[in-house]
Amino acid sequence: MMTKKSLISLFLASVLALTACKESADLPARPFPTPQVPAMLGSNLQQAFQYISLHFWDKLYAPGVEYSRDSSLVMGVTPDDFEEAFATYLTALDNVTLPVMNDAQDTMLVRAARHQLSHPESNIWKTITDLSEKYLYDPNSPYRNEEMFLPVLAHLKESPFTTDEEKIHYGHLHRLCSYNRIGTTAADFKYTLKNGRTGTLHQVKAEYLLLFFSNPECQNCQEIIDALANLPEITQLIDQKRLVVLNIYPDADLSEWYGYLPNYPENWINGYDQDLILNMQTIYNIRAIPSLYLLDNEKRVIFKDAPPEKIISWLTRAAG
């Protein structure tokens, strides 16, 4: 039986807890606590990016820091400020090695899940996973990167915050994103030229192969064609036979493709997928057109469905 003294103690503890919750709810939104790169790493960009990637979230979870429990915020940070910080994190992540990237993503997701379990009002798990899909998987995102999205999908398909139906969906996405990963050999396929002759991706001999999935109705495709055709560095690489551009039409309307052929550079390989294998999503996950891959001389993937600016910049540097 509880004594009068223990009842008073329990009452006082409850009052203190309620007061602390009210005070936390009354706190204003805080700025996102960004990490500071140690001075000794400041002059080494690679190490600085690695440090930021691995320690980006440390101050957000710093023990003893009070922040608003307002459920319209994300751990006390406004959604807009949090999204801006997330984009900064992805910029750092894009400049580190794959092992560091995987470590950083796993650390971020494990900490977010733990905090969500103990602080359901924090919105941290849903915010991070939703932003990951928006930035890393949306085909129109300049940050899109399936390699970065894979760790997120691996956690989502096993997460206690995910329904059984969602787990099936994320498992399917995980399988699609696992096609033609960076560092692996790109899947081979057959293409057909305007004269009916055929070839395969793996038969193309070059130091670099730029695989370009396009179609005539795509305005962005024409902009990429113009950009590549007008860059002296790209022309130089092609003339030196160091680079081959393999431009593939993956759709069925061949009359449209034949009508558009004069718009394609003659020093490219311009072909189509006669068997429509590519659009079956059995070997390439072509979610939107245009889609660009850069391969090395052994057909290993250097860039996968990357923004054209990133690939063009890389090739420009390769041209010397």
- Model confidence pLDDT, tens digit, residues 77-106: 999 999 999 999 999 999 999 999 999 999
Residue 280 is predicted with a pLDDT of 77
CA distances from 46 to 51, 53, 78, 177 (A): 9, 11, 30, 27
pLDDT interval class at 210 (50, 70, 90): very high
How far apart (Å, rounded) are the C-alpha atoms in residues 119 and 4? 33
How far apart (Å, rounded) are the C-alpha atoms in residues 191 and 246? 10
Query: Does residue 9 register a pLDDT over 60?
Result: no
How far apart (Å, rounded) are the C-alpha atoms in residues 39 and 144? 31
By the 8 A CB rule, do 292 and 305 touch?
Answer: yes
Query: Does residue 14 register a pLDDT over 70?
Result: no
Residue 41 is predicted with a pLDDT of 81
pLDDT interval class at 11 (50, 70, 90): very low
**Residue 77: helix, strand or coil by DSSP?**
strand
Average pLDDT, stretch 109-121? 95
Residue 134 is predicted with a pLDDT of 98
Query: Does residue 1 register a pLDDT over 90?
Result: no
DSSP string of 179-211, one letter each residue? TT-TTSBPPP-EEE-TTS-EEEGGG---SEEEE
Query: Does residue 12 register a pLDDT over 70?
Result: no
pLDDT interval class at 25 (50, 70, 90): low
Average pLDDT, stretch 1-26? 43
Query: Does residue 6 register a pLDDT over 90?
Result: no
Residue 24 is predicted with a pLDDT of 53
Residue 113 is predicted with a pLDDT of 97
Residue 43 is predicted with a pLDDT of 82
Query: Does residue 243 register a pLDDT over 80?
Result: yes
How far apart (Å, rounded) are the C-alpha atoms in residues 159 and 156? 5
Residue 7 is predicted with a pLDDT of 37
pLDDT, one tens digit per residue, over 252-308 is 999 999 999 999 999 999 999 999 999 876 789 898 999 999 999 999 999 999 999
H helices within 94-218, ranges in order?
A: 98-118, 124-136, 146-156, 164-177
How far apart (Å, rounded) are the C-alpha atoms in residues 34 and 31? 9
How far apart (Å, rounded) are the C-alpha atoms in residues 252 and 235? 30
Query: Does residue 54 register a pLDDT over 50?
Result: yes
Query: Does residue 4 register a pLDDT over 50?
Result: no
Least confident of 37-46, 72-81, 228-237, 265-274: 37-46
Residue 5 is predicted with a pLDDT of 47
Residue 227 is predicted with a pLDDT of 95
Residue 281 is predicted with a pLDDT of 63
